Structure 1
């Protein structure tokens, strides 16, 4: 299972984009419904792209801690659901937040996958910025780049304030 979920990390993103495009064409031929150029198709592709990063981050956090707390809670009569919600989830909270931020950044920065799967109605921001940079360098391109950097800085500051980024990196 580990190899299956990490396999998209080994494939270049342009190959992944081509493979998903071909899969969407085959799906359209078989079912008659099209995923190409739709928000749902783009969302599914980005979920496939970021899933390995989320799994690697969360599995590393889960493997790095012991099962003593869960076993103690279970031996005291807690149900498996309660053990997960009150013990396991708070312990891996930082890994979940880190993997969510990583997934957003990777998905936001992905141009090859979005180029293959975006249609006329759905144009992601990285594709639009890429198209603008090919034509000429305009002030709107510089403004979008500045806003992107500012957004990243704000997210980092918020993570530091609410999660404790330094504490998470020291573990």
Structure 2
């Protein structure tokens, strides 16, 4: 019986995604399932809309900057904690993981006050700052785990053979932690790209993200273009994970003593 329950759960999990994808091909002017006829009308409307493409570009750029910045910052933090064994390293790690503890709605309210005092509320720079904060926990764990698994003796050996610090880093350290960096970049990009709860508090008339736009469209109408956008995002995310896994390699780390 447990085996059949497990199979049923595994079959049920992708059902919402499958329904959304199928609904995006409907020829009706509203969301419905089962679909009423087949049509690519809503994909053409999505790709032909300047407004949708603009918010798509904004979300992609925001996620890319957030992923690079948070991964770079977390690599420096992990280097200090793991390699240099700084004091209160465990406390430092707990602080970095703090965004996982607080409700996103509370973070949104706090960020309204913070960004207002900085004059960044409703700006792209404000969203970059907030998304970096939100993605730091997801960036830190794989990078720190990769550093812990890499052999520090290799770096010491390279230095003893006369390699300069930058060359040791480029030729020894970076290849050893590359899977962790790739995992960090991938996780943070996807999380930032899909983030809606906190971003909903912070968008303005001149900056809008794709998830918030989808959320607004759901509240205002039931157009199948929402399903088309969602299906395109699922395809994009799946393709990105597959390509990175094949070309570079993605490792999901579990730290062990």
TM-score under structure 1 normalisation? 0.89
The answer to whether the 8 Å contact 2:121/2:203 transfers is yes
| 1:68 partnered with 2:153 | yes
Partners of 1:53 and 1:105 lie apart in 2 by 10
Q: Which of 118, 122, 143 pairs up with 1:37?
A: 122
Q: Which residue of 2 aligns with 1:137?
A: 222
| Equivalences for residues 11-90 of structure 1 within 5 A | 11-27=102-118, 34-90=119-175
Partners of 2:235 and 2:116 lie apart in 1 by 38
Equivalent residue pairs, number:
163
The answer to whether the 8 Å contact 2:142/2:252 transfers is no
Q: Which 10-residue stretch deviates more, 120-129 or 50-59?
A: 50-59
Partners of 1:161 and 1:60 lie apart in 2 by 21
The CA RMSD over aligned residues, in Å, is 1.6
Name whichever structure is richer in helix by fraction.
1
1:71 to partner: Cα distance: 1.1
Q: Deviations over 1:43-86 (max 9, x none)?
A: 11111111221111100111122212101101111122211111
**Structure 2: 5+ residue runs without aligned partners?**
1-91
1:136 to partner: Cα distance: 2.5
- Larger Rg computed on CA atoms: 2
Moved over 6 A (4+): none
1:164 to partner: Cα distance: 3.1
Q: Which residue of 2 aligns with 1:164?
A: 249
**Pair 169,6 (structure 1): closer, same or farther in 2 beyond 3 Å:** closer
**Pair 88,55 (structure 1): closer, same or farther in 2 beyond 3 Å:** same
Partners of 1:158 and 1:66 lie apart in 2 by 28
